Amino acid sequence: MANMSPKKAVMPHQPAEVRNKNFDEVALGYTAQIAKEEAERCLDCRHKPCVDGCPVRIDIPRFIKQIREGDEERAYRILSLSTSLPAVCGRVCPQESQCEQRCVRGLKGEPVAIGRLERYVADRHNEKAKVWPDPIASNGHKVAIIGSGPSGLSCAGDLARMGYEVTIFEALHTPGGVLVYGIPEFRLPKAIVEKEIKGLTALGVKIETNSVVGKLISVDELFEEGFEAVYIATGAGLPRFMNIPGENLKGVYSANEFLTRINLMKAYLPDSDTPLRPAKHVAVVGGGNVAMDAARCAKRLGAEVTVVYRRGLEEMPARKEEIDHAMEEGIVFKTLCNPTEILGDEHKNVMGMTCVEMELGQPDESGRRRPVVKEGSEFTLEVDAVIMSIGTSPNPLIRTTTPGLDTDRRGCIITDRRGQTSREGVFAGGDAVSGAATVILAMGAGKTAAAAIHEYIQSK
């Protein structure tokens, strides 16, 4: 008999006043009993509408059924047929606009907590899994992957399982892309990503860190070294700025730099080599998920934090759950507000930010109401650090060093739907193609490209 509760089983959390002072994971995960109760909310629909909402088409009712039946390992095997990072996706997928948006239980209440159940299954598996996969015998073909984010990792995993000798070239000193340098520890513990990466290296995937393709070696030189195909998965890590006066002052960061220092360089530890300047009042400019992550990190470092966003709360692109968590943690939201200048003292340190109030006018080309300046509304926010989080685009290094690689006006690589670029043997996917998107879409692109690369090499 199905559990007809209109609400999802509650996810245990660290209390807001405790978690806003530490970097430990906020959501603590379902217990076996809670997971079973939630699994009983699934109606095992014959047409599986939820599956259509998942970019990698996980067989959702089938894996949930295994939780009901207490066979978590089988549930894990079902997940593994479609995703190589279930512990990651269960935590960070925007489920409310994907699988859960299509769940029929959402018509009269809350949808089944698909993401939380996916996380539950992956965590139980990871707790028990002690044996790494054995290396797969080589089929004699070499593939190079540029970038070790979710797209590069999922492409590498699929190709390695087919017997390809895969080498990933990663610019940073640690693999994982945004999963390690962007998304904070309190949303995605790094041990989970490390474990996934260890599984790939056990399969035989080589990872060359500190290897910036376009500087150390070019795409053309990779072919000269014997790689038969190249997959570009370099993400969209180049931050945008507002181009207002004062953005070069000390204490102004891009969200990417701020988060990298914290997540990758552990700037919050007293013995960190790359500490952040102490700040008492931080303004975060922007309203997306990245802005929420930056604001919540700044709060954990002890600052009073204000999110400054030019539209209203309703229009904020960040996930509702992230906005709610940020509010619970004591972050102030100043909506309908736009910075016009960052002010500095005689040492060029940030000492304030001039803003104007906004009101919403007619819808723009995106369909959202355009914010317009309210006359005479200028005021100064007292801040000593500003984090700009107004979007990113792909870094130009690869496109400027790879002749014949077509890109669009945003600098994104143009591909067909299987990831084939304008250059023979060169494939691309993830944020480098789509612009800033999501982990699961980047992973899905990696899987699609792996199949296309296999076909390409086998047909040569």
Burial of 418 (0-12, 13-18, 19+ CB in 10 A): middle
How far apart are alpha carbons 197 and 24 in whole angstroms? 21
Strands (E) in 286-425, as ranges, are 304-309, 332-335, 337-344, 350-363, 369-373, 379-381, 385-388, 392-393
Beta-carbon contacts of residue 352 (< 8 Å; ≥ 6 apart): 342, 343, 380, 381, 382, 383
Tokens 């496109």 correspond to what residue?
Answer: 399
115 sits near ligand SF4 (criterion: CB under 6 A): yes
- CB burial readout 59-84, b (16+ within 10 A) else e: bbbbbbbbbbeeebebbbebbeebbb
Contact map string, positions 249 to 288, toward ligand FAD, x by CB under 6 A: ----------x-----------------------------
118: partner contacted, choices ligand SF4, ligand FAD, none (Cβ within 5-8 A by kind): ligand SF4
Q: Which two tokens stand for residue 319?
A: 């996930």
213: partner contacted, choices ligand FAD, ligand SF4, none (Cβ within 5-8 A by kind): ligand FAD
205 sits near ligand FAD (criterion: CB under 6 A): no
Question: Quick one: which segment of 10-18, 83-91, 168-176, 264-272 binds ligand SF4 (CB under 6 A)?
Answer: 83-91
Q: What is the DSSP string of 121-176?
A: HHHHHHHH--SPPPPPPP-S-EEEEE--SHHHHHHHHHHHHTT-EEEEE-SSSSS-
Q: Toward ligand SF4, which CB reaches closer, 118 or 329?
A: 118
Q: Toward ligand FAD, which CB reaches closer, 149 or 246?
A: 149
Question: Quick one: which segment of 21-29, 43-51, 70-78, 310-318 binds ligand SF4 (CB under 6 A)?
Answer: 43-51
Contact map string, positions 182 to 201, toward ligand FAD, x by CB under 6 A: xx------------------
Beta-carbon contacts of residue 273 (< 8 Å; ≥ 6 apart): 265
Q: Toward ligand FAD, which CB reaches closer, 93 or 356?
A: 93
Q: Toward ligand SF4, which CB reaches closer, 384 or 431?
A: 431
Binders of ligand SF4: how many residues, by CB under 6 A? 27
Q: Toward ligand FAD, which CB reaches closer, 45 or 212?
A: 212
Contact map string, positions 13 to 42, toward ligand SF4, x by CB under 6 A: -----------------------------x
How far apart are alpha carbons 61 and 57 in whole angstroms? 11
The helix or strand, by DSSP H or E, that contains position 198, with its residue range, turns out to be helix 190-203
Q: Select the residue interacting with ligand FAD from 212, 332, 360, 373 (CB under 6 A).
A: 212
| R_g (Cα) of the chain, nearest Å | 23
State the residues that interact with ligand FAD by CB under 6 A.
92-94, 146-152, 169-172, 177-178, 182-183, 211-214, 233-235, 237, 259, 289-290, 293, 395, 397-398, 430-432, 436-440, 442
State the residues that interact with ligand SF4 by CB under 6 A.
42-45, 48-50, 54, 56, 58, 60-61, 83, 89-90, 93, 95, 98-99, 103-105, 112, 114-115, 118, 440
